[in-house]
Amino acid sequence: MTEQQRSLHNLYLLYEAARRIGRSLDVDRTAQDLADVLVPALGDIATVDIDDAVRAGDEPSKILGGGQVPLRRVAAVRNSGCWSPGFILAGMLTPPLSDRPEIKNLQHGKVLMAFARAEAIPAAGDFADMMVPLDAHSGMSAPLYVRGLLFGIVTVWRTGSTPVFDRDDRKLLREIVSRAELSVDNARRYTRERHAAVALQQGLLPRASTDTTAAETAGVYLPADRGCEVGGDWYDVIPLSSLRVAFVVGDVIGHGLSASATMGRLRTAVQALADLDPDPGALLTHLDDLVQRLADEADLSRRDVVGATCVYAVYDPVAGRCTIVSAGHPPPAVVTPEGTVDFVDVSPGPPLGVGGMPFEVTEIDLKPGSMLVLYTDGLLNRHNRDVTRGMEWLHDRLEALCDADRPLDDIGRALLGDTSSTPPADDVVVLLARTRTVAAEAVVDWEFPADPSVVAEVRRLTTRQLAAWNLDDLVFTTELVVSELATNAIRYAQGPIRVRLIRDDLLVCEVADASNTQPRLCYAHATDEGGRGLFLVAQMTRRWGSRYGRLGKTIWTEQPTHTVYR
C-alpha cells in the first residue's frame, strides 16, 4: 500500500468512525460500534472493556490497577477464525489491572503498543491467556480517557500475515478512540439521567397491587427503551368513601425528568381531588384547570410542554356500577367472567390542558369477577401498530390471557410480552382490576320522612341491625352517629332522608338528604349550647366526610369492625 493509499484509507476510516460511533445513547451499543469500526479496517481482533460504573451512568473509579476495580468486556469482534480457549469474551469481567508501568501509562491517556505478542504478555501478567489471543502477533491498547478518568480500554490485535502495527497505526487508533470518548461520555450522562427519571417515576407510582372489598388490582409499569427518554405515564388506585375505589391511568405529554415531575404533580392532584369526592367529570375539570395553570408557568425557553391524557373510573361494589370519564385517553376494556372482551363506549373529552370542554360521564354495570383494563397508548403502539390495529391486538390478547383463576400480575406481564427482544419506544402502563360486589345481606337501606320523631326509629333499626351482624360493641357509637347525622339532615334539609349501613372490614354509616349545604366541623366554646355534634362524630369514628350527587349530598362515617369478611 502506497503512502497516498494509506492516507486515503485512514481518512475513510476516520469518516466511518465519525459516522457510525455515537449514533446510540447506550454505552454498550457505542462500544460495539467502535469495535465494528476497528475490525477489519485497522485490525483483525478488537475488544472494548468499560468500567461497570460507567455503564450504570456513574463516573469510574479514579484509580485502577493494583487489584482495584476490574473492567467488563462489552464488545469483542474477530474478523475470522475462532477465539482462543480461555480468552475473555463480551459480558465477562476482565482481571484487575496490574501496577506495571505500561498500565500506568494507559491510566494517563497514553496508547500502549506491543510490536510483538511476546511484549504484550508481561503487561497482562498472570492473565496472559485470558487477555492476549494465541494467534495475535501484535497489538495496541488505547484508553477511553475522559476528563482525567479512565472509562475503559480499547485493544486491537493483528493476526496471520497482516503487518505489525507501527506508529502511524497508533496515531490513527488514538484519533478514533478520541472520537469515541465523547460518545461514551454522552451515553453515560444520558444513562444517569434516564436512571434518575426511571427512579423518580417508579418512586412516584403506588405499590403494584392492592386487595380491597371493591377489587383486586395489579399495576404494571414498563419504561421506554434505553434509547428513548422516560415518559410521564402513571396509574393509581385510590380508596374512596363507602367502600368505593377509583382507578386512574394517565399519560403526560413529553419525556424526561420534566415529564416525570409533571406526572408526580398530577398524581398528587388527583389524590387530593379524589379525597374531596367530586363527580368524576368535575374532578377532570379541576385537573384540566390545574394543567392549564402549569402550562402558563412552563419555561418556553426549555420547550416545556404541559399536557396529559387521563382516564378516571369510580367503582361502587354495592351497586356493581362503574362510572368512567376520559380526557383524550384510550377506552378501557372490560373482560366479563365468561371471557368476553369489549371496549367501553366512553366519550373521550379533550386532553387535559385544552380547556373549555366538558367531560362526559359513562356508567356501566360490572358483574362480580369482571376485569377492568386501563392502559396507556404505549401498549397499543408497540411493534409500530396504529391505534386501530393496536386495539384489535389487545382484544385478542385479553381473550387469550384472561382466566378467572390467573393472577392479575401474570396477565399484566404477559400483555407486555418479551421486552428483552422488543423494548418499547414509549412508556407502557397497564392497570388491571378484578371487581367484587358486597353481599346483599351486608347492606341495609331505609328512607324516612323529614320529621324529628323518626330519629328514635332510626336508632332502633340501627341497633337491631348491628345485633343481627354481631356488632354489639359498635351499638353505642353508631347510635350516636346516626342520631346526630339524621337530626342534622332533618333540621337543615328538605324532603325525605335516607340512612344506609354497610358491613365489611369497616362499618359504613350514611345519611343522605336533598340539601347541598356543606357540613362544617365546629369547635364549640364551654358556654355554647350547640355545635358539638359533628365534633363528637369525628371523635367516635375513624373517618367521616361528605360527597355530593345529582340531587343532594351524603354524609358518611367509617368505623373499624375488627372482622375480615372476604
CB under 8 Å to 174, separation ≥6 — which residues? 111, 142
3-state secondary structure of 306: coil
In angstroms, the CA 252 to CA 120 distance is 55
pTM of the model: 0.78
pLDDT per position as a tens digit, 288-332: 999 999 888 876 555 566 789 999 999 999 999 999 999 999 999
Q: Are 554 and 445 in contact (CB under 8 A)?
A: no
The beta strand positions in 223-377, using DSSP E, are 232-239, 245-252, 308-316, 321-327, 333-335, 341-343, 348-349, 362-365, 371-375
Q: Which residues of the chain fall below pLDDT 50?
A: 65-67, 528-529
Structural domains of the chain sorted by starting position, each given as residue range(s) with its CATH number in brackets? 3-195 (3.30.450.40), 205-435 (3.60.40.10), 440-560 (3.30.565.10)
What would the grid cell of residue 235 be?
A: 396509574
Pairing of strands 245-252, 232-239: antiparallel
Q: Where are the alpha helices (DSSP H) in 336-416?
A: 377-380, 387-401, 408-416
Q: Are 308 and 324 in contact (CB under 8 A)?
A: no
Among 308, 315, 434, CA closest to 377? 308
Residue with cell 494465541: 134
